[in-house]
Amino acid sequence: MAERLKFDEIVLKVALERDLTFITEAVLDRAVITSQLLNQLLREEQQNMIVELMFRSRRPLFISDQLIMGGVAALKPRESREGRPDFGLTKKLQFPDIIESMINLGRFKSAEIIDMMRLMQQRVEQAKPRRVSIHNDDDPEKLLDYEDLFKLFIVKRKVKLLRFLFSLSRDIFDFHADLFLKALELEAYDMAALLFKEFFRQLRNMEPQQLEFAISHIVSSYNRANGMIDFKAYLVRQFTEQMQLRHARTLLDAIRNKVKTVSKQNILVMNLNVLKTACLLIENLAEIGLKFNLLQVRCTNLRNDIIQVTRDYMARVESEYEMKYLLLEKDFEHRDSLDHITKHNIVEFLET
């Protein structure tokens, strides 16, 4: 498989360099599209040719870099019904595959990726009036799914590209609560926090089932060993008022387990700034205890446990620069640990 893909790349490179259009067309008609093939086209500024791949009567097959590098290179192709090599791991090329390849290659600026999306949008607009049949699909708009692009940008943490989506007219792309829930489902809690900050008015009025989904995923995020405590704590605060007692109990269970764990999975160790993490957890506990009187004693006990673990850590800090880092690093809302210590009267940290 690897030899066949490499051969196609070499032939396409030569054809593009020598402006041999008929060979370029022949390669694109039979080849399995990869990121490297797309890179060859982009190097020669063939963005239009890439977009036109989506509108061919036989849309090309695509295979991701992850599959190529994952040990499938030794597979031998079989001929598909369309006369093209089929490795059993390919799929029809989708526009998000093109954009993801541009992102993964790492040499394209956000502006260049936005230009590619605009070019695709223009091509879709041109195809609309004709209602041409494309790949047994009568709607050209389905070739450009902005919600699929949204999910890709969330996973890749591409804020500028998300901003571009939000700048589109609402009949092309319109943000709704399910997209926020998708960010939570993808465990992109940092991006979910940014989305909430941007669309908080809209997200304050979610349907009951959407609210249940959001709170459940935010509460369960504390069981995930993926850091991002700033954003998780922020999301918990935004939804504390909508929580039910069962949600609060589950959250306290998760915090207790993570604080008591004597391993790298300890929530205080897993996040770089132990002091800031402790302050954010104590803030969550204070708000939960304020809302649920039944849980006040439990919140107080957990607060004491967090303070003890954090004091033990701070007592071992010998560098002045490390202590400054612990005290002055800002959280998601631009507050440092000294702000939290003052607000929540955590005098034990100052005594340390």
Residue 120 CB coordination number (10 Å): 21
Residue 332 has pLDDT above 70, yes or no: yes
Q: What is the pLDDT of residue 71?
A: 53
**Distance separating alpha carbons of residues 86 and 77, to the nearest angstrom:** 5
Q: Which of 152, 1, 9, 157 is nearest to 69 (CA)?
A: 1
Model pLDDT for residues 240-275, shown as the tens digit of each residue: 999 999 999 999 999 999 998 877 778 887 788 999
Spell 252-270 as b/e; 16+ CB within 10 A means b.
bebbeebbeeeeeebbbbb
Provide the pairing of β-strand 91-92 with 85-86: unpaired
Q: What is the pLDDT of residue 70?
A: 60
Model pLDDT for residues 64-81, shown as the tens digit of each residue: 877 766 655 444 555 554
Model pLDDT for residues 28-56, shown as the tens digit of each residue: 888 888 888 888 888 888 898 889 888 88
Task: Please answer whether residues 176 and 195 qualify as being in contact, where contact means their C-beta atoms are separated by less than 8 angstroms.
Answer: no
First-residue to last-residue Cα distance in the chain: 62
Q: Which of 116, 203, 113 is nearest to 158 (CA)?
A: 113
**Average model confidence (pLDDT) for the chain?**
87
Spell 164-196 as b/e; 16+ CB within 10 A means b.
bbeeeeeeebebebebbbbbbeebbbbbbbbbb
Q: Where are the domains of the chain?
A: 1-143, 222-352
Q: Which of 25, 96, 93 is nearest to 60 (CA)?
A: 93
Task: Please answer whether residues 83 and 134 qualify as being in contact, where contact means their C-beta atoms are separated by less than 8 angstroms.
Answer: no
Residue 83, both tokens: 């006369």
**Distance separating alpha carbons of residues 310 and 312, to the nearest angstrom:** 5
Model pLDDT for residues 271-313, shown as the tens digit of each residue: 889 999 999 999 999 999 999 999 999 999 999 999 999 999 8
**Distance separating alpha carbons of residues 305 and 299, to the nearest angstrom:** 10
Residue matched to tokens 């260049």 = 112
Model pLDDT for residues 110-139, shown as the tens digit of each residue: 999 999 999 999 998 887 765 554 444 546
Q: By CB neighbour count within 10 A (0-12 exposed, 13-18 middle, 19+ buried), where does 44 fall?
A: middle
Enter the pTM of the model.
0.85
